[in-house]
Amino acid sequence: MSSTPTGTAPTGNTKPALTGAKIKQRKGVVKSQAKFEPEVFRDALYKHLEGISPEDWDAFATALDKAGNTLEYRKYADPLFEILIVGGILAPGGAFVDDGAPPSPFSIAGAKSDKLEDVKPFVDVLEKLIRRYKFLQRPLEESTLNGILQYVNRYEVEQRNKLAVATALMIQQGLASASVLSTLQKDHLAKDDLAISFIDLVFRTYLVDQTMDHLASSLRKGGVRNWLLFFPQTKRDQPNIVASHFRSAEVGLPQVAEYWQKRQQKDIRDQTVARLGEMVSSDEDAASIPEVVEFLQAQMKSAGVGPEDFVPFIWEGLMKAVDWSVRQDQLEGAVLKELKKDCPILEPFCSSARAQISLINSIQLFCYADTRVIKSFPKILQTLYNGDVISDDAILYWAQKGAKAQGKAHFLKACEPLIRFLQEDDDDEDEE
């Protein structure tokens, strides 16, 4: 006679169930469902850090490494970094949790001063910790650091400066993305020059050991493009405010000002070329010449450059309007036709000799780079001369000592008839 197991036999769609069996939950499930107690975590962490000499950095790094074996760093990542950066757990609003706990034995806020040499050892300890527990990097740059920076207006000046130096080092060492700086672009932080003062110190610290190109790359990867938002709203409309700020004697970061100007000019160049090509196209909706000139004058003002630097942008934009799909034997005619139409656009920006030479050199480089129109160079110059855009003096100066090195011999040879004509015309005027 066979024995029957204890339990309920399945009937229909009912699943079998064992009675009296206790299923044990996995450790991960138990941990995730456990009560969130950051204060308990803090007190346990303090025990690992107590008794270590204030500047024994290796001992702090070892203690934090060891604490990770028993404390739940993954669950308490935010409180962990708040303790190690500002010295305690932050409550909503940026104040410390008020439960009578002392400041952390180890924190960037507890550094002797805001000097680089006093802050860097703390960041180096954080780097060792993150290298050991790689999962900590993501919450640091996506959560904790943003949360700390959004309350930077609540800190004393020295504490704020320590945080700025530490932030620069964390970005430089790859512990956090420069995207954390976008938090400072909120209006309540930008007012009273608080945000831009913080950024000044971040940039200055970063550039101690790295180049401006390296800093620019970090900012670009972090999506920090509009630096105007670090300034108070009342200052954002001031002409060239970013470059003039960083170039000032008080800030003393001319390399930052130079980079910003070059970047602005590149952005404005791209905008000008694209928009101008659309405005002067042969479509019926093409803009009027006064409208085009007004647009270009506004762009030149925004770029903060003179006509001699802006004329190459105009030339490139005008060439966008040429129909480059025509046959090779018709291309020269298409280019000259476009130029005859556009001489009134170029003329207001070519009133000086420097601007005219700049335009000629832009055309030289353009024809040198595109062999389809390399033979058209003399006729292009003649068209612009007839359209009162460039003068005979500008062409003669270019031929004598102003030409670019690229294809110089070829272009001078091709322009000999035009140059000879202009020289003879000059001589006739002198005799009269």
Taking the C-alpha atoms of residue 228 and residue 237, their distance in angstroms, rounded to an integer, is 9
Sign of CA pseudo-dihedral 324, 369, 313, 363:
negative
- As beta bridge partners, residue 391 has none
- Give one DSSP letter per residue of 34-54, joined into a string: S---HHHHHHHHHHHHTT--T
Token look-up 């309540």 returns 188
- Which region, left, alpha or beta, applies to residue 337 given φ > 0 means left and ψ of -120 to 50 means alpha? alpha
Alpha carbons within 13 angstroms on the beta-carbon side of residue 19 total 5
Determine the pLDDT at residue 2: 47
- As beta bridge partners, residue 90 has 96
- As beta bridge partners, residue 271 has none
Determine the pLDDT at residue 431: 55
- The reply to whether the predicted model has a pTM over 0.85 is no
Distances (CA, A) of 408 to 191, 383, 389: 54, 20, 22
Determine the pLDDT at residue 23: 54
Contacts of 353 (CB under 8 A, 6+ apart): 391, 393, 394, 397
- Residue 283: both structure tokens together: 């479509």
Tens digits of per-residue pLDDT, 392-426? 999 999 999 989 999 999 999 999 999 999 888 66
- Residue 240: both structure tokens together: 């060239």
Sign of CA pseudo-dihedral 424, 427, 429, 432:
negative
* DSSP 8-state class, residue 180: G
With beta carbons less than 8 A apart as the criterion, state whether 152 and 160 touch. yes
Determine the pLDDT at residue 328: 86
Burial class (CB in 10 A: 0-12, 13-18, 19+), 54: exposed
Mean pLDDT by 10 residues, the chain (432 residues): 48 55 54 75 94 94 96 95 94 83 93 96 97 95 93 93 97 96 95 95 96 96 94 89 93 94 90 90 67 93 89 93 86 90 94 95 94 93 94 94 92 93 70 54
> Taking the mean position of all CA atoms in its chain, how far away is CA 113?
30
With beta carbons less than 8 A apart as the criterion, state whether 196 and 231 touch. yes
Tens digits of per-residue pLDDT, 204-239? 999 999 999 999 999 999 999 999 999 999 999 887
With beta carbons less than 8 A apart as the criterion, state whether 79 and 101 touch. no
First to last CA, the chain: 139
Q: Three-class SS of residue 364?
A: helix
Torsion of CA 180, 185, 186, 192, to 10 degrees: 120
Contacts of 160 (CB under 8 A, 6+ apart): 152, 198
Tens digits of per-residue pLDDT, 112-156? 999 999 999 999 999 999 999 999 999 999 999 999 999 999 999
Read off the amino acid at residue 258.
E
Angle (deg, nearest 10), helices 194-209 and 212-221: 130
Count of positions (residues) in the chain: 432
Task: Provide φ and ψ at 415, rounded to 5°.
Answer: -95, 5
Task: Provide φ and ψ at 90, rounded to 5°.
Answer: -95, 135
